[in-house]
Amino acid sequence: MNIDFSQCPTPCYIVDERLLEKNLKILQSVQERTGCSILLALKGFSMFSVFPLVGHYLKGITASSLFEARLGYEEMGKEVHIYSPAYVEDEFEEIINYCDHMIFNSFAQWNLYKERILKSGRSIECGIRINPEYSEIEIPIYNPCYQNSRLGVTLKNFNPDELEGIQGLHFHTMCEQNSDTLERTVKVVDEKFGKYISRMKWINMGGGHHITRDDYDIDILVKSILFFKNKYGVDVYLEPGEAIALNT
């Protein structure tokens, strides 16, 4: 990077566009090999000045709040997905205006808001976050599947009678991990929720995939994506954040 840092305004963030595009091309290659859709998780990287470049390679963004959704909608203009453990009721009408996909943390949240989505007249695909009760994250506070976690619906609490209107399932169990972790996770998700995945249009495998790391095994990632696509005929989404801008 040939930059005279003494001439840069401060404070500021500096990204090498060449390295960013290198990462994006790796992600694009995964999309081309599998037919999956990769989204930028804004909680991991939200430098909207490079959204035109990111949007050239990726399918859109995923948000965890109203303003992240608005940022992706206004600055990238592609697919906008959102997940929240509990949506803020006063913000919900505005969120609907920005999003194409909405993921709910529980059937209680889905039942609370589904009529408002239907009445909006917008074509929004809705999903439920599942908790496979399996994660290899070692620090409990960062483990979304830790004992008594309320992030996602466990198999015990999963009610198939409430799936009307639900088009996808979402799981997020990883953090800066390699694809061997995903491969083991996919096996557990399939064993527990396979009979429900077969009723879905898509499955979202969340974030935490360190795809652009030098030692990342992309072939295992491809195998894991194709497992769901070939077995159930579903579309597959991934939501990496840090991997987009890693080492840039």
**pLDDT for 13:** 84
Q: Which of 216, 214, 208, 164 is nearest to 185 (CA)?
A: 208
- Alpha-carbon 27 to chain mean position: 14
Rounded CA separation 129/106 (Å) = 7
Q: What are the phi and psi torsion angles at 215 (to 5°)?
A: -95, 10
Q: Which of these, 19, 178, 151, 174, lies nearest to 85 by C-alpha position? A: 151
Distance CA 153, CA 134 (A): 13
CATH of domain 13-245: 3.20.20.10
| Structure letter (DSSP) for residue 176 | S
What secondary structure letter does DSSP report for 147? T
pLDDT for the residue 1: 59
Give the largest CA-CA distance in the chain: 62
Contact criterion met (CB below 8 Å) for 84 and 110: no
- Cα angle at 202 between 29 and 97, to 5 degrees? 95
Tens of pLDDT along the chain (248 residues) come to 577 888 888 888 888 999 999 999 999 999 999 999 999 999 999 999 999 999 999 999 999 999 999 999 999 999 999 999 999 999 999 999 999 999 999 999 999 999 999 899 899 999 999 999 999 999 888 888 998 889 999 999 999 999 999 999 999 999 989 999 999 999 999 999 999 999 999 999 999 999 999 999 999 999 999 999 999 999 999 999 999 999 99
Residue 116 CA to residue 103 CA, distance in Å, equals: 14
- Can you read off the two tokens belonging to residue 82? 């959102």
